[in-house]
Structure 1
Amino acid sequence: MGFFDFFKSSKAADAETYSPGSRIDGITLIFTPSTGTIEYQGRYGMRGSFQNRDVRTVEYKAVSNTHGVLLIQGNEGTLFTTDVLRRGVCDNAKTWIDARLPGAEEITPEEDATTKIDRQQEETATVHSASLTSAASVADGEDVYEELKKLKELYDLHILTEEEFEAKKAVLLKRI
């Protein structure tokens, strides 16, 4: 690979992209079904790729109580090692990679790790949204300020999207 090839996206038209974790984690997995290639784009420019047919197992190795790495094992040894990531991000990435290995059972959308995370975030956002709405309806100016702080926390935790955050913020700011 040449120096400038490092900066080019290798994403094909039929590629599936997955970013386990949050924007802070900054990793992306790309699977190209036509070639069977899984590419890892990590933090700080770490990149690597491997063929799904060469993968024997995907193992989690703990680095601390909360963080670890994924070891992508082939018949001849380790094919790839990821960045040090939070345990939950490793678990999501492992599930996603395992589903794209030959012989993996077809995973329905309800069982897909991406869908589970999205559904959990939607449920949490709905609960928090309902509490924000009910609290804002009885709150005075000072309580609206507290609700804005809570709203910002939900956005920072990636429970709310930027659009949801801006819409709810606009509603709360009108009350001041």
Structure 2
Amino acid sequence: MTESSRLPHCSPMKQSSCKRAEYPSQGRPINAGPAPRSPTLCVALGLECRKMAELSQMERDIETIINVFHQYSVRLGHPDTLNRKEFKQLVQKELANFLKSKKKDEKAINHIMEDLDTNEDKQLSFEEFIILVARLTHASHEKMHEHDQGHGHCHGPGLGESGHGHSHGGHGHSHGGHGHSH
């Protein structure tokens, strides 16, 4: 059996739901409906499209990140980059809890954008934007560890209560009992 024949595929009827919707690039209000669909992970990787129901939780989450980026990137200018205004709107609306102290601070938002804009074109490509997502994910993971010290939190042999795996007491974060060290 070949690699592609083992993967579940969308039916021709479902294929249209896997394509990114086209939206006008000017004047799209913040709450103008759902984010445009991006190509699915499978299409982006050169595979045939799979049904959303067959995607894993992480695959759905990755698609959500892509869709949110595109929801803001199509508003002004180039449809696949965020300009300063689009980035500010995204930060204020989508990252309000992660960047509480910075979301109203214009200088802080500008500094974050300048830091991410590695090619200095005053826009953020998806590749530049995803650096922020990675940094926030890492910081969130570290914060989770800070707050869970001694509350059902285990880091493997000698570091936690059970010595098996890595759990966050109801946060749904585990590594299959193989331990996790920092």
Q: TM-score range by the shorter chain?
A: 0.3 to 0.5
**More strand per residue: 1 or 2?**
1
